[in-house]
Chains A and B, each alone.
Chain A
Amino acid sequence: MSAQILTITSGKGGVGKTTVAANLAAALAMMGKRVVAIDADIGLRNLDVVMGLENRIVYDLVDVVEGRCRLRQAMIKDKRQPELYLIPAAQTRDKNAVSPSDMVLICDQLREEMDYVIIDSPAGIERGFRNAVAPADKVLVVTNPEVSAVRDADRIIGLIEAEEKGPGQLILNRVKPAMVGRGDMLSVDDVLDILAVELLGVIPEDERILVASNQGLPLVMHGVNGASAGEAFRNVARRLEGEDVPFVELVQKQTFMSRLRALMNGQ
């Protein structure tokens, strides 16, 4: 059994990479998988607070790279899930303290003991991005239905292919169904038309995401059901496990034209 290495990236900052990484890691752990999340954003440590593990950091990723501790010592064990770990980023160093080959080496060590390694990439397309992508088996591109985020996602998808890590898979985050319904937000189909990439998940905007990060408890661990972001994250985790999970229809727009189109498409 060998771990799958997933890198979560986006190009643009603030689209929800860290939220996606924390929730996917937690969702997979709740499915009984052995999961380690790695914060690759050296100097801007974030994943620890979103996962609620910030008080237990002793060693970090740079300590491992520079040989101050063993890999196991830098793996913080989550208290709520028996097989969920975090390797935090260093807060006081810069991104050049880690190289792409360091990341490949660390992930190779984790492959035997884990089912998933989830790497939270920093924003941008520089060293930190290349560090995060170097060991990846699969790259998940997070974007929002917004022109600047979609443009950056397109650039990132191109770079992933250039690094021979493609094709990337898309997670469309922060979708507001009501805005899509009245034509004021790009729809899932619009974004897929533009980016021509495989869709892995659609996450609706959900205020509880902020509540969850306030508490340091990823939303999927809250146990809320229904058409929430937590449910959407769980669906992404199930798709990663190879399940064929249908995409929940977020927008209920029943116009004459949409019904006609559905009829003509034989739906």
Chain B
Amino acid sequence: MSWLDRLLGKNETSSQMAKQRLQMVLTYDRSDLPPGLLEVIKDDIIQVIAKHTAIDTDKVVVHLEQNTQENRLVAEIPLLAARARRNGAASK
């Protein structure tokens, strides 16, 4: 990383990028999940939850997390109702 990058606030070094990319790719390598599966799961989750409550479908994220020896699927599903309520209260 050059001093110019530092000055411009590009703080991430190439070794940090390498580490992050490796951690990501190895999480998938180790899980044996076929590529594209997470997108399918995400769409299904959106359908199920959308039946019951309003969600921000564009902001749903499903990803794999790995800690020590365990893989877990993590879904983040922002509820639209809660945010809309808050926004409504603020505008009064």
A contact residues vs B (CB 8 Å cutoff): 146-147, 150-151, 154-155, 158, 180, 182-187, 190, 193-194, 196
Contacts and interface: CB of A to CB of B under 8 A. Distances in A.
Interface residues of B, number: 15
Contact of A147 (B1, B13, B22, B29): B22
Contacts of A154: 26, 29-30
A150 B15 contact: no
A151 B26 contact: yes
Nearest to B26: A154
A194 B15 contact: no
A184 B22 contact: no
Contacts, number: 42
28 contacts: A146-B18, A147-B18, A147-B21, A147-B22, A147-B25, A150-B22, A151-B22, A151-B25, A151-B26, A154-B29, A183-B1, A183-B13, A183-B14, A183-B15, A183-B16, A184-B1, A184-B13, A184-B14, A184-B15, A186-B15, A187-B15, A190-B18, A190-B19, A193-B19, A194-B19, A194-B23, A194-B26, A196-B68
A26 to B, nearest CB: 32
- Main secondary structure, interface of B, reads helix
A147 B1 CA distance: 18
Interface of B: 1, 13-16, 18-19, 21-23, 25-26, 29-30, 68
Nearest to B21: A147
Nearest to A187: B15
Contacts of B26: 151, 154, 194
